[in-house]
Structure 1
Amino acid sequence: MRLHSLEVTAFGPYRDHQVVDFDQLGADGLFLLHGDTGAGKTTLLDAIAFALYGAVPGARNDAKRLRCDTAADEVGTSVVLELTIQGQRLRLERSPEYQRPKKRGEGCTTQQAKASLTWIGGTPDAQPPEGLTRIDEVGRTVQRLLGMSVEQFFQVVMLPQGEFAKFLRADTGEREKLLERLFGTERFGQVESWFIDRRRERRREVEAQSQQVRELNARISQVSGAPQTSEVGDENWLEDIEKQALRDLESTGAEHARLRRERDQAEAALTERRELAEKVRRVRQANATLAEIDAKQAEHDAWRAERAAAARAVPVITSRRAADRAEQERDRAHAEVTTWADRCEVDPATPLGELRTRAGAERERAGALAQLIPEAQQQESDQRTLAELTAAITADEEREAELVAQRDGLPDRITEVRERVDEAKHAGVRLETVRARGTEVTALLTTAREIPAAQRELESARTRAQQAVDAHQQARDRLQDLRSRRLAGMAAELATRLADGEPCPVCGSAEHPSPKRPVDDQVRAEDEEAAQTTEQRAQTERERATTAAQQAEQRIAHLRERLGEHTEPELADELEQLRAEQNRLSETAADLARRETELTKLESATDELGEQISALRTRIAASRSENSALAKAIEEREARLRDGRGDFDSIAGRRAHLLDVADRLERLIAARTARDDAEQRLAEARVALAEAATAADFANVDEALAAERDEQRLAELDESLAEVDRRAAGARDALASAELFGVDTDTEVALERASEAATVAREAAERAAALAHRSEQRHAELVDLGGRLRSAWAQLGPAMTEHAELEALADVVNGRGQNARKMSLRAYVLAARLEEVAVAATRRLQRMSDGRYSFVHSDAAGARGTRGGLGLDVLDDYSGKVRPAKTLSGGESFLASLSLALGLADVVAAETGGALLDTLFIDEGFGTLDADALDLVMDTLDELRAGGRVVGLVSHVEEMRQRIAVRLRVRKSRHGSSLELSGTG
């Protein structure tokens, strides 16, 4: 990496545009950034770092204050860096995030951060030719080209003032954190974590397996009743339990078999007794049934006689029902004759011949009228058509009058709509003016409404400022009081530190004849420091509160200046009126398109109305001609139809009346005929009823009807008689069966004794079965648990061995256990890197210290068993002893720190495989060196630039400027390069 130029604008102390030409400065490989303290030397290094990574070294990056406070508001903050990386020249431009005044109104707005990368002299492959403009893409591209992170860059390329000395004096933990960031050893930490996690997993697995073994052990002990064993793999204990369970199983099984045989014998005897008792019961029940049936024989005979009489009465009942139906038909026929005689308005006894003659005459007259019906229908149709024509003529004449009126009124309507169109256009123009005024009034009204809150804030700020002034004055008075009291008791305070035989820090005497005694209420240094801290805080709070009050006064003055002579009620009323007018104008302007469309339609409607009026007048003339012809034809047809209608409204009505009269007469004739037939059938049915009663062996019809029974009664008689027959047959079959042959009804059966004996035997067998079942279950469960326990023992042993090995290995990897040096894997790798750094740094330290000092790397464990591996001491060749780096003087510490930083830069650059670093910056520290040491440092820097590097030094020491100029004149007689800086911010 080689820098070419740097441009900064409004960055740090540089409020104007500044350019640094590194090509000119680094032409001899060495240049100096020189200036007084605060002149902005370190800011140039910050600008380079910010251009590359968007960050600056150290605590300055946390402050987020990169913009120049004195820069003009219109000048933007930016940094432009042009450099070459891996043979590719590029231009980086960045702007930080900062607050700038708003272009309109009061207050500030956030100017967002920006970044861009532009390729110069050709675009690399897979890169856009227009460059990059996203901050994340620019950052990733720069880090990929340089091959190092921002932390590595600050440690390798920019050696900031005081930062690299911390690494020399750091303890093991701080040094480990820095080396981890530089060398990226996170993967070794992940290996350590992997071993720890794996050990934790294996411990959980072993614990789970051990818990399983304990649970199985306890379960076996619970099932068998034997005490638990504490040994893993105790086969004798498990075999004894299994053998005892097998013996219990065999003994309970034998006892169960014996009791089961006794139970079977008792149950067989009980079954025989029960069978004999059942036979005796059945014989007794059969005899009782037959006796009961014999006792009720008379009742059963009555049932059979009633059932037979009901069966003989069925034909008589059928004949009676036929006679009833014939009588009902006769009555209906009489009623029908009376009804039709009334409708025909004749005597029911009128002869049938006379009725038939009259009906035929009515039908002949109706037939004569049939030929006039089509003409009557045509007459009705023509009359409807005539009415429709008349209505159509009237409607067309009214429509003609309307269209003529519309045509006559079109000019006035067009003028009216044209005026409305002009009104909508004017509203659109006026609307913009009203909106602008409304925005202005809204802003003024907002300002007016902010004034009360601003006034309250001003009063509150003034109150807080006065309180802060009072608090600060009290703190200052207390500080002055404590200082006065402490000065008064200073001698007593010094006397507390005196010891016999040790010199006095004031006079040097080893004797202290009369030391000052402490006074009452002695003030300590801690009390004075605490009071001073309190006073400083109070002063800071006073300045902050005073500034806030001034800002509040400025804000309310600015608000009143903006408001002018306006008042809030006036502005509110005006705003309300403007909003109402804006709504009205908006509605009118929005209606412009509709009004223009309406005007277009009206302008084109004149010709359309003329065409409609002409067509309508033609249709009216044709309708009038058709109406006159149709009216004449209707009048001629009406004379012929008048005679045919007679007193009726129509021909069809009169014809329908004649047909109805003939039909009623014919129905009367049919009813007379049906009545005569019904009387004949009734006489025949009554004769058949009397004959059926005689044939059924009844004295008369009434006796036969009395023997009738309903279906329910007949079903009851059949069921009762069938039940009697079934019971009698069942009893006789039972007594005649071979099973009950010879059974005496007086036989006594001892059933209770046999049942009691069978119950006792059954209960004993059940208890024995339960014992045998429990023994079988216990034996099966113990066999299963024993197999599972053996399997758990077989798995637990190797698991415990594996866990022990893994735990020991994890301890070694993490610097514990058998790791004698207490070095973790990550620390071991870092120790190797630190050893390389020590070797590279020793070469430069020996040269700069004239061979006196060398770095010594130590991998021994720390004090009280702390981790080791990252120790770094110095070997003093004058004494031949190794001593801590903290014992070096200021100049020696600078030489050692610079050597260590240069060595660290070489190792990190080689480790990361990044770009060749042609530029190196060293910030301050040269003021601690004497002339000889400074010569040695300059020789080392000469070696760096002789190797092709450009070294930039940052120092305010005047001697550095002179020495660099002399060295560059000595080398090739060139003019030395330096950049003189002075604070411009």
Structure 2
Amino acid sequence: MRLHRLEVTAFGPYKDHQVVDFDVLGSDGLFLLHGDTGAGKTTLLDAIAFALYGQVPGARGEVKRLRCDTADGETATSVVLELTVQGQRLRLERSPEYQRPKRRGDGYTTQQAKASLTWIGGAPTEQSPESLTRIDEVGRTVQRLLGMTVDQFFQVVMLPQGEFARFLRSETTEREQLLEKLFGTQRFAEVEQWFVERRRERGRVVEEHTQRVRDLLARVSQVSGTPNSSEVDDQDWLADIEKRAQRELEHAQAEHSRLRRERDTAEATLTERRELAEKVRRVKQAREALAELDERKGEHDAWRAERDAAHRAVPVQAARRTAERAEQERDRARAEVATCATRCSVDPEADLAELRDRAAAERERAGALTALIPQAQQQETDQHRLAELAERIRSDEQRETELVAEQNGVPERVSAARERVEEAKHAELRLETVRTRGEELEALLGVAREIPGAEAELARAKESAQQAVDAHQQARDALQDRRARRLAGMAAELATQLADGEPCPVCGSAEHPSPGQPVDDQVSAEDEQAAQAAEQRAATTREKTAAAAQQAQQHVDNLRERLGEHTESELAAELDQLRAEQNRLRETAAELARRNTELAELEAATGRLGEQLTELRTRLAAARSEHAGLAEAIEERRARLLEGRGDFGSIEQRRAHLLDSASGLEELIAARTARDDADQRLTRQLAALAEAASGAGFADAEQAKAAERSEQRLAELDTAIGEVEQRAAGARETLASAELFGVEPDTEVELQAATEAAGLAREAAERAAALAHRAEQRQRELAELAEKLRAAWAELGPAMAEQAELEALADVVNGRGQNARKMSLRAYVLAARLEEVAIAATRRLQRMSDGRYSFVHSDAAGARGTRGGLGLDVLDDYSGKVRPAKTLSGGESFLASLSLALGLADVVAAETGGALLDTLFIDEGFGTLDADTLDLVMDTLDELRTGGRVVGLVSHVEEMRQRIGTRLRVTKSRKGSTLTVQT
């Protein structure tokens, strides 16, 4: 992968359109991105990552705020990247999702994210030549071409700021998660899980077989009564149980046959004696019944006489009831005549012809009134309608007045409602501006409140820097003083080394007539070295405090520049006003929907009121016309109805009176006729009753009535007489039967002893039958259970062997059991990859540390038996000991992290089989290196650009700028950051 051109617009701190030509920058293979802190160096790397994957690395990717805050509202945010990957040159263009001002009105709208991929020079054969415009298609195509995910890209191609030291210091768990993402070892974890699931499944199968064996053993022990707690295959125990059950069955069956024969003999004897006792009882009962019937013969004859008289009185009873009904009808007819005469106010015995003439006259007068009834009904209906019309006219006239008043007031209400709607709209548009201004004021207020602390920190930093300068100056003066005093006493120091007869190291003489004498406050070489070390420490402290003071000054200057001419009190007051205004605008804007609804209802009410008023006036005119016509018709009909009504309340009442009078007369005539007929029928029925009594053998009707009996009494007599006759016949038939011939009623039968003997024999036979049945059932059940148990034993053995083998293999794969290193399959693969990374990283770390440090990979188990395999330490060649990476200093950690990142990049690129990585970016970290170490790092970076690779560095270190010829400078101002290529 080689980058050619990057264009950013309104992205990050870049307000305007900026272009980076990587072909120019990378012509020498190494270039530098430098500039002030916060100028936007890292943003260029974010732009590259965003163009490729739509994401930015590190914590900045979590915020998802990529648009420049100071960009013009009409300027769209976009990133364009041209690159060559796998021989294909393509152009990627992306725009993030952001809020832009509305083109009409105030407020903001969401600009959706976009992406496109254009092939330059033709698309691959397997790819459509058309440009890709869907975000997901662009993402899949880029990942396929690069051969790595976004996590792998950030670890291999782009080493983000503050991120590539995390892997060095991370714990085993974090390192394992990162390596899984980079090397895609999830399939090995799936293999581990597969073994675990298979072991669990086989375990369930074995447990099912074992439980089945346990259940069958328990059932066999329960049925046979022989305990056995072992689950192993014990065929002899099972065979003994089966044989014993068979023997018990044969014995029970033989005993049952013997007792059954004894029971049959006893029951036959009992049956014979029961039959004889029954014959004696029947003879005795028959003779007793005949004796009792002879004693009650007189009573039985009286029953027969009563029944015969009742049967003869039946015809007389029917004639008497007919006469009674005729008498009742006559009495009712006489009462009806009296009632009709009273209701008509006439003599009940008046002439029938006169009554008929009077009734006819009443009906004729009622018929004459019939024609006036519809007119009377219409008169009443018209009067009700006339009252309704009058009430409606009054109500409509009142409603007309109200509608006219309401119609006159609608225009003024519509104008007021429109003003309220405009006020709410303006508040809604103004609200976003006020909210944005409030956020700006809150940020400025935070800056204003931060300045006192920053100034205090600056004062402390300056004071510390001044103290460090004074301390350094004092250390330098002490060093120069000790050097001067040592030079002054150098002769005496040399004299202490002279010996008689040995040549002088200065002049060569063997004689030393006048050696130098020690001076006051003699200074040794160790004293000078100690002073020099103290001076170097003071110098280092001076540089650090000066840098800290410079950073503090820069921080204060940045805060003051952001604050401008504002003061904290002014900002707080303005912020309070804006918050109050924001609350008021929010409340007003929330009323917009309700006010729009109110306005729409008022505008619709204008036309609705006009329609209602027109409809009301039309209805009012029609009601007035109908009211006048009805009043005239009612007045014209009034005289005719008064004459026909007479003294009654209405014509219907007078007509009903006439008809009722005619009906009463007619009813009296009919009642007189019915009374005469009833008298004649009663006379005939009394004569028939006397004739029927004489014919039935009674002296008169009263004697016949006394002989009458109810149906229930007759049924009782028939039943009693029938029972007597039936008992007598039955007793005689019993005594005359052949089977009872010769049986005397006083014969004695020994039944008790036979019953007891038969009961004892029956109980013994039943117990034997139950025992035989249980023995047979137990033998059959044991046979079935034995067959199932032998089958279960046959299945359990292979299942247990297979489960043991699978469990041992699963333990090994998951880092347990016979796995001595306690490493799972996934950890083993990751450990192998980490070992490759350590080897690749060691080559660069030894070169950059001048051969002092090497990476050491450890696959030992962790503390307290935890899984190992991902340990990573450093070997210090100076001490010959291995120590944790966390003990390295800041500069040493940077060298180790950079070496590890480069080694990891090489291994990941080889592992994924991705595209050839011709471009590499390293962000920050060089400020922790001294000059010599920086030389070693630069030599290593020079090696990276062999073979045409381009390495881009991001740093604000001045020495880096002096070492690298081609660089891209980022200049920051209040108007936004700009880019300038420098050589």
What amino acid maps onto 1:979 in structure 2? L
Please state if 1:82 is matched with 2:98: no
Shift of 1:271: 2.2
Shift of 1:373: 10
Give deviations 1:700-730, integer Å, cap 9, x for gaps. 5544443332222222221111110111111
Shift of 1:882: 12
Give deviations 1:215-248, integer Å, cap 9, x for gaps. 4323423432324153611101111111111111
Residue 909 (structure 1) aligns with = 909
For 2:573, which of 532, 543, 557 is the aligned residue?
A: 557
SS of the aligned residue for 1:253 comes to helix
Alpha carbons 2:9, 2:17 under 8 Å: kept: yes
Q: Distance in 2 between matches of 1:981 and 1:241?
A: 97
Shift of 1:193: 1.3
Q: Distance in 2 between matches of 1:590 and 1:714?
A: 95
User: 551-560 vs 800-809, which deviates more?
Assistant: 551-560
Please state if 1:150 is matched with 2:150: yes
Q: Distance in 2 between matches of 1:116 and 1:585?
A: 36
After superposition, the Cα gap between the structure-2 partners of 1:904 and 1:675, relative to the gap in structure 1 and judged at 3 Å, is closer
User: 655-664 vs 270-279, which deviates more?
Assistant: 655-664
After superposition, the Cα gap between the structure-2 partners of 1:164 and 1:766, relative to the gap in structure 1 and judged at 3 Å, is same
SS of the aligned residue for 2:267 comes to helix
1:14-413 aligned at under 5 Å gives the runs: 19-34=19-34, 41-53=41-53, 55-58=55-58, 60-61=59-60, 64=63, 80-84=79-83, 86=85, 87=88, 89-93=90-94, 115-120=113-118, 131=133, 142-160=142-160, 176-228=176-228, 230=230, 232-324=232-324, 380=372
Shift of 1:650: 14
After superposition, the Cα gap between the structure-2 partners of 1:120 and 1:697, relative to the gap in structure 1 and judged at 3 Å, is closer
Alpha carbons 1:366, 1:658 under 8 Å: kept: no
What amino acid maps onto 1:181 in structure 2? K
Q: Distance in 1 between matches of 2:206 and 2:660?
A: 118
Residue 968 (structure 2) aligns with = 979
Residue 684 (structure 2) aligns with = 681
Q: Distance in 2 between matches of 1:583 and 1:824?
A: 67
Residue 790 (structure 2) aligns with = 790
Residue 737 (structure 1) aligns with = 737
Give deviations 1:550-587, integer Å, cap 9, x for gaps. 999778734775799x9x9xx9xxx99xx99x999998
Shift of 1:206: 1.9
Residue 493 (structure 1) aligns with = none
Alpha carbons 1:11, 1:77 under 8 Å: kept: no
Shift of 1:201: 2.6
After superposition, the Cα gap between the structure-2 partners of 1:816 and 1:8, relative to the gap in structure 1 and judged at 3 Å, is same
Q: Distance in 2 between matches of 1:219 and 1:78?
A: 81
Q: Distance in 1 between matches of 2:83 and 2:113?
A: 18
Give deviations 1:99-128, integer Å, cap 9, x for gaps. 99xxx99xxx99999743244568987899
After superposition, the Cα gap between the structure-2 partners of 1:599 and 1:339, relative to the gap in structure 1 and judged at 3 Å, is closer
Q: Distance in 1 between matches of 2:341 and 2:161?
A: 144
1:803-814 aligned at under 5 Å gives the runs: 803-814=803-814
Residue 455 (structure 1) aligns with = none
Alpha carbons 1:848, 1:940 under 8 Å: kept: no
User: 782-791 vs 816-825, which deviates more?
Assistant: 816-825
1:410-425 aligned at under 5 Å gives the runs: 421=407, 423-425=409-411
TM-score by length of 2: 0.65
After superposition, the Cα gap between the structure-2 partners of 1:843 and 1:720, relative to the gap in structure 1 and judged at 3 Å, is same
Q: Distance in 1 between matches of 2:403 and 2:690?
A: 109
1:700-711 aligned at under 5 Å gives the runs: 700-711=700-711
Q: Distance in 2 between matches of 1:74 and 1:137?
A: 29
Shift of 1:91: 4.3
> What RMSD in Å do the two structures reach over aligned CA positions?
6.6
Shift of 1:130: 9.0
Residue 471 (structure 2) aligns with = none
Alpha carbons 2:370, 2:655 under 8 Å: kept: no
Shift of 1:917: 3.2
SS of the aligned residue for 2:748 comes to coil
User: 714-723 vs 587-596, which deviates more?
Assistant: 587-596
Alpha carbons 1:326, 1:681 under 8 Å: kept: no
Residue 719 (structure 2) aligns with = 719
After superposition, the Cα gap between the structure-2 partners of 1:681 and 1:187, relative to the gap in structure 1 and judged at 3 Å, is same
Residue 772 (structure 1) aligns with = 772
User: 147-156 vs 764-773, which deviates more?
Assistant: 764-773
Give deviations 1:731-760, integer Å, cap 9, x for gaps. 111111222222221111222211222222
Q: Distance in 2 between matches of 1:560 and 1:840?
A: 61
Q: Distance in 2 between matches of 1:611 and 1:296?
A: 106
Q: Distance in 1 between matches of 2:676 and 2:162?
A: 146
Please state if 1:943 is matched with 2:932: no
Q: Distance in 2 between matches of 1:112 and 1:584?
A: 27
Alpha carbons 1:356, 1:665 under 8 Å: kept: no
Alpha carbons 1:823, 1:869 under 8 Å: kept: yes
Alpha carbons 2:118, 2:131 under 8 Å: kept: no
After superposition, the Cα gap between the structure-2 partners of 1:750 and 1:556, relative to the gap in structure 1 and judged at 3 Å, is farther
Residue 460 (structure 2) aligns with = none
Q: Distance in 2 between matches of 1:215 and 1:706?
A: 91
Alpha carbons 1:845, 1:895 under 8 Å: kept: yes
Give deviations 1:790-835, integer Å, cap 9, x for gaps. 1221111011111122122223323444556665332444455457
Q: Distance in 2 between matches of 1:389 and 1:769?
A: 102
Residue 526 (structure 1) aligns with = none
Alpha carbons 2:31, 2:953 under 8 Å: kept: yes
Q: Distance in 1 between matches of 2:658 and 2:95?
A: 115
TM-score by length of 1: 0.65
Alpha carbons 2:95, 2:113 under 8 Å: kept: yes
Residue 490 (structure 1) aligns with = none
What amino acid maps onto 1:674 in structure 2? D
Alpha carbons 2:224, 2:241 under 8 Å: kept: yes
Residue 954 (structure 1) aligns with = 954
Please state if 1:430 is matched with 2:416: yes
Alpha carbons 2:92, 2:116 under 8 Å: kept: yes
Alpha carbons 2:337, 2:671 under 8 Å: kept: yes
SS of the aligned residue for 1:796 comes to helix
Alpha carbons 1:25, 1:31 under 8 Å: kept: yes
Q: Distance in 2 between matches of 1:962 and 1:563?
A: 52
Alpha carbons 1:223, 1:782 under 8 Å: kept: yes
Residue 750 (structure 1) aligns with = 750
SS of the aligned residue for 1:771 comes to helix
SS of the aligned residue for 1:31 comes to strand
SS of the aligned residue for 1:748 comes to coil
Q: Distance in 1 between matches of 2:849 and 2:653?
A: 149
What amino acid maps onto 1:792 in structure 2? A
Residue 540 (structure 1) aligns with = none
